[in-house]
Structure 1
């Protein structure tokens, strides 16, 4: 089947109760919150490019999705420049402060603090990178002024904003993680905000105005930086002014993967998501999963077990390459992939999935303890993307790690601090152990798919390690099953990690569920079928027809997002 079949199967613009689709010819944006999508859309309408639109959306999302991203977030921007035909990664991932030690989350008695405790500790805050990433992207690729790109966010913070179901849900579930300052905003007078309430965020507006006047660097030197350090120090944190001042974003080469003639670009390690998806696609290709029906138990089982295999490897072998050696050649060696796939059995689900030894296919040996990280990590982030009329593609995934980050809001400035250091393995000596000035492993996976050198599909998702499964399954649905983009994203997804954290979405047919139960999937172990507003991930995707340039975009259903196309119809 050809690429043309994929585009022949794209349906007309429209909306359903579950997802929104749009078409366009002169550009498109897709964002998890409607107001942020509109900020990106207006930038494109005024002649801005894809990078301009992504910057405007990120800034707007700090206001309208502050539980998942903020001024103090970390993230990656994946960018394809259609003029140079080059793809680059702008790395704005959070970094460990200089005072970080491997035992940072242990007490004086050598006891590791529980995750819930360390995730709201001031020590968990990493040096935020997303504002430096925006600055570098703006200086290198942007065309609009910072004032133009940040003004929509300031307006959203200064004026009445109506609380959505996303806000209500997250505030209700995570209000106990918030510190006093955050509760003033999200739980005013002890009453959690609910859908329909109106909120204004003057402190955050003040912060954004400082950035508008002084530039993105004001987060790293000056009034905002001083407030960050002062806040954390008062609460026992370790970040210093020098940590912020010395942070630098960078433009890097992507990690390239392949699947049945398609090429895929991702952020490279220390990002672990793209590597895991690339490895997963090699497994899918050898398994020839599309020989089974899209709703078959065989497909669900093979996907779930393959995800466990690649995550076991990610948890054991991936970390900041500035600190450790990574067995990239071994992880992608055909012999190694085939060796790992022998662990999948159609008769039962394996109770344990151990990491493999890709070093057998390398010429060197590891310089770290090969021990799997089975500790709990955070669970959220956000993803958004833009394509402009010139064919440039920008996709960004940013995060403050746990929902509401560390729970610490900077007083008087209205934004949440991240808790990105909880992405490290708390056990000293392991590959992803905490160390000074080190990047923790992330599963962020902004993705661009190419055919014969031309980009035709970009996507990504929030969801911590579930990102790997969400992105890979949508790729499978589009590339193998040739599904309409909206249907491919809406198709029920599953997830299962090495620790048997089995999750699935409502809509998997009963016959498949019964068979999976027979194989040993514990469907009654406390996980309920999730509803449409509590899906795995929140995939955003845009496709480019290489023959006529038409664009197709979709926003997944868990968040109040929109895909908006310029000129030819709009998603509602």
Structure 2
């Protein structure tokens, strides 16, 4: 039987946000941190969870017809780039974690954007040597890196696909030509970003027709995107890396209000990189994900490995002590992240998951109060180490996540992005937005003569917080999970894993529970939920507290002996479908 779970977004654009709040509010907001969430989706054979119902339906069609998880991902991503263009698309990048049931192997594909070969560490410095303002750097071509998503889609299909490549674009092409209703989330995002979207005429023409932001329910068509997908269906990803579409991408970047450096040579040279999964132990399982240039798996892994020595299950989700442990483990991991983590093809890195090292870091959590200060540790280092300095980069929330398990037991977790909402705001002639991924590099190049690991370098991939995750037990997946949300992704994913593995929450309850996130010392508590009620207790433990919106987009599928159990984050438009 077909089971579907639909959740609607909560964002902070006044009129539309109130409509969203009226439509769906997190249940259990005043009754503790264990939410009385909607029932999870259950199925026997396959499941897909994605950020928009139209995208999830495209993936479901593929799975229903016997396609693999990789096939379904291609269909989902093609639709997401159309219906959720502010979050991901052909002009961006992605990280994919894949479990191949036939071989029992887990691997990852790195489709992260790269810096143009003409870029230097001074990319975001003014002529006077001062750091550019963040938005000055974002809006325009200067922030655009070489896109990786199209090639990642093709590479995943080449390795694990079973369905015809060309047929995977049918749903997206049809929606682009016939039109689709503008979702509440997209309408809210356009309204909230209208000023920046108006900088480039082509972008304004699509999102602000006649100078008016798109409205919820308004039919939106994108024939240029349909043409791009047809070219991709016929020619593969090469259609975007050479020829007319590639020339249009480069022209858009170099002709933007803030011209960029991307070249045809950069596009032609781009490669997807297969990397070994990074895994950390937790309660006898292995929490596996994407290593550098993502900081996701390493930071989530450090957090959980430190927490593994404490009995969070006994404390429970309503315990301030549990959140002291989670919060300070996160702070310790983020301190290491800020100093050491970057593209490991360019920067040597220590063993940040060394068991003895993390055992020593975990001892720091054994007190009764919040740590007064947190510094990077000194993990094992077998390199003539550079004297590194922390960087200065701002990762703002956008992005999207896809979780899929197919009928053969293959599992896929992919986080996909154009970085900031609407990316660089530069519209490619092929009907899609281009990323602003280069602003994920540090704007600072050095500090007191010490180089910053995550500085810009030609061909380098900027550090990411994306954390697509597959939890493995006895060599097989038991949980497929991930989220958007900027650098808070790490906290969202770690919290949901704790909720599921320590507190026994099903995937829907785990992704629905109120958020508490601590990266750098200040505890962010999700406004309008029971998390805010913990503010006095956390302040008494020594934390500064900030009650604010925390807009995750978690999608989770648990693999059990009795079948699949899925959940979609109620803060967005997520949907889980299974049969």
TM-score, length of structure 1 as denominator length: 0.90
C-alpha contact (below 8 Å) 1:317/1:370 kept by paired residues:
yes
C-alpha contact (below 8 Å) 1:331/1:337 kept by paired residues:
no
Query: What is residue 568 of structure 2 aligned with on the other side?
Result: 555
Shift of 1:503: 4.3
Query: What is residue 518 of structure 1 aligned with on the other side?
Result: 540
Is 1:128 equivalent to 2:117 in the alignment? no
Query: What is residue 75 of structure 1 aligned with on the other side?
Result: 94
Give runs of aligned pairs for residues 487-502 of structure 1, distance below 5 A. 487-498=509-520, 500=522, 502=524
- Secondary structure in 2 matching 1:26: coil
- Secondary structure in 2 matching 1:426: coil
Alpha-carbon distance in 2 for matches of 1:504, 1:120: 29
Shift of 1:25: 1.2
Shift of 1:131: 0.7
C-alpha contact (below 8 Å) 2:120/2:458 kept by paired residues:
yes
Aligned with residue 203 of structure 1, among 209, 214, 224: 224
CA deviation map 1:277-336 (0-9, x unaligned): 0000011112332331211111222222221211121111011111111111x5534345
Query: What is residue 87 of structure 1 aligned with on the other side?
Result: 106
Aligned with residue 541 of structure 1, among 528, 535, 556: 556
C-alpha contact (below 8 Å) 2:297/2:467 kept by paired residues:
yes
Is 1:107 equivalent to 2:126 in the alignment? yes
Alpha-carbon distance in 2 for matches of 1:511, 1:224: 52
Output the aligned Cα RMSD.
2.0
Comparing 26-35 and 505-514, the one that deviates more: 505-514
Query: What is residue 419 of structure 2 aligned with on the other side?
Result: 401
Query: What is residue 320 of structure 1 aligned with on the other side?
Result: 343
Alpha-carbon distance in 2 for matches of 1:345, 1:505: 28
Shift of 1:28: 0.7
Query: What is residue 136 of structure 2 aligned with on the other side?
Result: 117
Alpha-carbon distance in 2 for matches of 1:174, 1:380: 13
- Secondary structure in 1 matching 2:433: coil
Alpha-carbon distance in 2 for matches of 1:34, 1:343: 42
C-alpha contact (below 8 Å) 1:408/1:417 kept by paired residues:
yes
Query: What is residue 144 of structure 1 aligned with on the other side?
Result: 163
Change (3 A) 1:557 1:128: same
Change (3 A) 1:460 1:480: same
C-alpha contact (below 8 Å) 1:40/1:54 kept by paired residues:
yes
TM-score, length of structure 2 as denominator length: 0.89
Query: What is residue 390 of structure 1 aligned with on the other side?
Result: 408
Shift of 1:218: 0.7
Alpha-carbon distance in 2 for matches of 1:13, 1:108: 54
CA deviation map 1:505-544 (0-9, x unaligned): 5322565222113334444xxx5443xxxx4411001111
Query: What is residue 48 of structure 1 aligned with on the other side?
Result: 67
C-alpha contact (below 8 Å) 2:340/2:350 kept by paired residues:
yes
Give runs of aligned pairs for residues 156-555 of structure 1, distance below 5 A. 156-178=175-197, 179-235=200-256, 236-328=259-351, 330-339=352-361, 341-342=363-364, 345-348=367-370, 350=372, 352-358=373-379, 361-367=380-386, 369-410=387-428, 412-428=429-445, 429-498=451-520, 500=522, 502-508=524-530, 512-523=534-545, 527-530=546-549, 535-545=550-560, 547-548=561-562, 550-555=563-568
Which segments of 5 or more consecutive residues in structure 2 lack a partner in the other structure? 8-23, 27-37, 446-450
Alpha-carbon distance in 2 for matches of 1:216, 1:296: 50
Change (3 A) 1:149 1:418: same
CA deviation map 1:63-85 (0-9, x unaligned): 01100011111011111111100
Change (3 A) 1:238 1:519: same
Shift of 1:39: 0.1
C-alpha contact (below 8 Å) 1:297/1:513 kept by paired residues:
no
CA deviation map 1:452-473 (0-9, x unaligned): 1121110000011111101111
Change (3 A) 1:344 1:107: farther
Alpha-carbon distance in 1 for matches of 2:366, 2:456: 33
Is 1:564 equivalent to 2:577 in the alignment? yes
Alpha-carbon distance in 1 for matches of 2:389, 2:366: 22
Aligned length: 540
C-alpha contact (below 8 Å) 1:279/1:310 kept by paired residues:
yes
C-alpha contact (below 8 Å) 1:315/1:372 kept by paired residues:
yes
